[in-house]
Amino acid sequence: MIVIAESGSTKTYWVLLENGVETMNFTSLGINPYTQKVPEIEGIISKEVAPVLKEKAISTIYFYGASCSSNENKAMVRSAINKFLPDLKIEVEHDVMACAIGLFGKKKGIACILGTGSNSCFYDGHTLFQDNPALGYILGDEGSGTWLGKRLLRDFLYHNLPDNLYKILRDEKGLDKESILNKVYKEPAPNRWLASFAPLIKEHIEEEYCLGIVKESFHDFFRYHIDCFYEYKKYPVGVVGSIGYHFSDILRAIAIEYDYKLEKIIQSPMEGLIEFHSLTPKSNTSH
């Protein structure tokens, strides 16, 4: 029995496979070794994951996670899992690899993430090639839920929001300068909190302000994270993540402006990961 875990900054999806057949699935909080310290990651594993998996006859966990690109971050996640689920083989890969496999399998394409955070790469069917780095929610994450939340709250604090949205944030959400700055600079997982405002933007997408900031967000994403692959324009673009999925019409329109073929938008890469890991053990380790 193997486990596939696909983690963004907000949620982790866990799927158990036995002989290529899904037998169980569940979710936990997202795991991101850049924005979370070791005790927080260990807390998620000990409370939300280990109690579900510890009695299962598991041989290997394939974990694909946000910010799991460096050896240090991979080791942090691997150690946290092994602390509560010892004697298991733990393979940790970047979430962009999950995105690429989920979108293209073993075909070539430009694979993108547009969820709580954002990222992109060119995928040759085996290896990832990244021109511009993912800089996280402070310096980057263009096009993401975090980016949209930052823009909305900045405009709220600068009194640049339409009156109806301003009143929603002030009266219904109970926000003010102090509460926002505490959430962003003092409390855990500020990126997750910032991204939680994306549904409000979606709810009001017919309004000029909301439509405008989503378009601006996607323009920035294409400018910095897709147009850098201009020599690969003959290959399709695919997008994974809740922001790309829920704002897909706008995203497709922006892709046309940049002359890219946006072939696929999916909310989760899990279906493709299950198909990939249902192959022979030799294929499972090809990445």
- What's the CATH number for 2-100+269-284? 3.30.420.40
Angle separating helix axes 95-104 and 270-277, nearest 10 degrees: 80
DSSP count for the chain of H helices, then E strands: 15, 10
Other beta carbons within 10 angstroms of residue 52's beta carbon come to 14
Classify 106-266 by CATH class: alpha beta
pLDDT at 281: 52
* HEC string for 179-245: HHHHHHHCCCCHHHHHHCCHHHHHHCCCCHHHHHHHHHHHHHHHHHHHHHHHHHCCCCEEEECHHHH
Main-chain dihedrals φ then ψ at residue 61, nearest 5 degrees: -115, 125
pTM: 0.79
pLDDT per position as a tens digit, 37-64? 899 999 999 999 999 998 888 999 999 9
- The gap from C-alpha 119 to its chain's centroid, in whole angstroms, comes to 8
Q: Which residues make up the CATH 3.30.420.40 domain(s) of the chain?
A: 2-100+269-284, 106-266
pLDDT at 280: 46
The residues of the chain scoring below 50 in pLDDT are 280, 282-286
Token pair listed for 42: 């260990």
pLDDT per position as a tens digit, 87-102? 889 999 988 899 999 9
Strands (E) across the chain are located at 2-7, 11-18, 21-29, 60-65, 89-94, 109-114, 118-123, 128-129, 237-240, 262-266
